[in-house]
């Protein structure tokens, strides 16, 4: 409990202006700088999840993810720093990569699970942890009401007069939190969400499960570049140019697709030149490791 309080003390990640030839009021919220391993939105999501676990007297976090999951690394690091145990069901056959190496260094126990069994997460949990009162279930990517609450707090750390706020989306939990924060504060800000999955119109429904009123939400479903963790030469080029041009790394799975979308919308004169725009850098830079051959 003491550890958790120390780790999740209030923070204000920096808000930096981004130089742009057309957009003169463009900002980047550097949640990637919160921590290299409990990165960006994963820190935001875990904050109240860990608090809930502590309140319920649970000391073993059990969660789920693919072999390149930022959420697994974040959970492993958060558990280690909070004096908790951690286990992850990892989708697919046994592999070792940079992310899973970090998980293991942080003491996380990995259970490689075939894709069929992995689908029923509750069943995986019950098969291994039935009767284990110390075990605490955390859904894939940390998707939960607690995660929404943690992400909603980002809004108070941003200018209240934003016209547009951008974020990348996997499950849409982060987007739901931002939308909640915008609603709670009564802001006029439009939330622009860039799903990284193909055909992700379902995200609106998923967001609505947490936040019923979605009038401020704009989905841009055309920037998936082929789907989750898929890429194309134009995106890889964009990552190199952005990183070298701004001195800010972006990851190929999430944030690169979001920044590409902003650039593309600006080129289409989607924004008015005086509008105030912010992009949430949700971190996840270890994702670069999953695409190192392509990025070279
Ligand atoms: C996990 C992750 C996301 C997706 O967050 P959701 O809440 O699932 O939509 C976005 N960006 C980065 C860098 C991530 O690691």
Cβ–ligand 1 contact at 140 (below 6 Å): no
**Ligand 1 close to Cβ of residue 150 (< 6 A):** no
Is the distance from the beta carbon of residue 282 to the nearest atom of ligand 1 less than 6 Å?
A: yes
What pLDDT was estimated at residue 7?
67
pLDDT at 3: 54
Ligand 1 contact via 252 beta carbon (within 6 Å)? no
Query: What's 239's DSSP letter?
Result: H
CA of residue 29 to ligand 1 center, whole Å: 14
Residues 30, 173, single domain; the answer is yes
Q: 84 and 137: one domain?
A: yes
The series of mean pLDDT values per 10 residues for the chain, 296 residues long, is 57 92 96 94 97 97 96 98 97 96 98 98 97 96 97 97 98 98 98 97 96 96 97 97 97 98 98 95 95 91
3 state SS of 20: coil
The predicted structure's pLDDT at residue 10? 65
Nearest ligand 1 atom to alpha carbon 40:
13
Tell me how far the alpha carbon of residue 261 lies from the centroid of ligand 1, in angstroms. 16
Pair 29, 156 in one domain: yes
| Claim to verify: residue 162 and residue 26 sit in the same structural domain | yes
pLDDT tens digit string along 193-222?
Answer: 999 999 999 999 999 999 999 999 999 999
CA distance 64 to 124: 10
Q: Which atom of ligand 1 is nearest to the CA of 203?
A: 9
| Ligand 1 centroid from CA 141, angstroms | 8
- Do 171 and 291 reside in the same domain of the chain? yes
Assigned domain for 162 exists: yes
Q: Which of 117, 142, 167 is the last residue of a domain?
A: 142
Check if 82 has its Cβ closer than 6 Å to any atom of ligand 1: no
Residue 290 lies in a domain: yes
Are residues 275 and 215 part of one domain? yes
- Per residue in 66-111, pLDDT (tens digit) is 999 999 999 999 999 999 999 999 999 999 999 999 999 999 999 9
- Whether 93 and 163 map to the same domain: the answer is no
Instruction: Name the closest-CA residue to atom 4, ligand 1.
Output: 170
Regarding the beta carbon of 69 and ligand 1, being less than 6 Å apart is answered: no
Q: Number of folded domains in the chain? A: 2
End residue of a domain, out of 142, 176, 210: 142
Q: What is the pLDDT of residue 12?
A: 83
Q: What is the pTM of this model?
A: 0.96
How high is the pLDDT of residue 244? Answer: 97
Is any atom of ligand 1 closer than 6 Å to the C-beta of 283?
yes
Alpha-carbon gap, residue 45 to 142, rounded angstroms: 6
Query: Measured between alpha carbons, how far is 288 from 292 in angstroms, rounded to an integer?
Result: 6
Q: Distances from the Cα of 163 to the Cαs of 112, 271, 277, 283, in angstroms?
A: 44, 9, 6, 23
Angle between helices 70-81 and 41-55 (to 10 degrees): 50
Please answer whether residues 64 and 139 qualify as being in contact, where contact means their C-beta atoms are separated by less than 8 angstroms. yes
| CATH code for the domain of 110 | 3.40.50.1100
Half-sphere exposure of residue 14: CA atoms within 13 angstroms, side-chain side: 7
For residue 81, the enclosing domain spans: 43-142
Query: Quick check: is 3 in a domain?
Result: no
- The CA 131 to ligand 1 mean position distance, Å, reads 32
């Amino acid at each position: 409990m003491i550890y958790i309080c120390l780790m999740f003390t209030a923070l204000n990640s920096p808000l930096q202006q981004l130089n742009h030839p057309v957009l003169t009021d463009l900002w980047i919220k550097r949640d990637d700088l919160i921590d290299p391993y409990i990165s960006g939105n994963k820190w935001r999501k875990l904050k109240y999840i860990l608090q809930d676990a502590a309140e319920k007297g649970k000391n073993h976090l059990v969660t789920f993810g693919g072999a390149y999951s930022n959420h697994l690394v974040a959970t492993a690091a958060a558990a280690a720093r909070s004096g908790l145990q951690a286990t992850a069901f990892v989708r697919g056959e046994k592999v070792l990569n940079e992310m899973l190496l970090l998980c293991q260094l942080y003491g996380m126990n990995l259970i490689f699970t075939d894709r069929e069994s992995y689908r029923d997460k509750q069943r995986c949990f019950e098969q291994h942890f039935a009767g284990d009162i110390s075990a605490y279930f955390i859904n894939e990517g940390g998707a939960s009401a607690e995660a929404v609450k943690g992400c909603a707090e980002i809004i108070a750390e941003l200018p209240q007069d934003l016209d547009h706020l951008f974020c990348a989306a996997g499950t849409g939990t982060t987007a739901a939190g931002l939308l909640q924060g915008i609603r709670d504060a009564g802001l006029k800000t439009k939330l622009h969400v860039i799903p990284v999955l193909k055909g992700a119109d379902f995200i609106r429904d998923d967001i609505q499960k947490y936040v019923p009123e979605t009038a401020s939400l704009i989905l841009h479903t055309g920037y998936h570049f082929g789907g989750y963790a898929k890429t194309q030469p134009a995106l890889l080029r964009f990552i190199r140019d952005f990183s070298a041009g701004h001195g800010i790394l972006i990851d190929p799975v999430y944030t690169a697709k979001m920044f590409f979308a902003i650039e593309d919308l600006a080129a289409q004169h989607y924004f008015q030149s005086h509008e105030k725009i912010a992009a949430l850098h949700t971190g996840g830079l270890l994702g670069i490791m999953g695409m190192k051959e392509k990025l070279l």
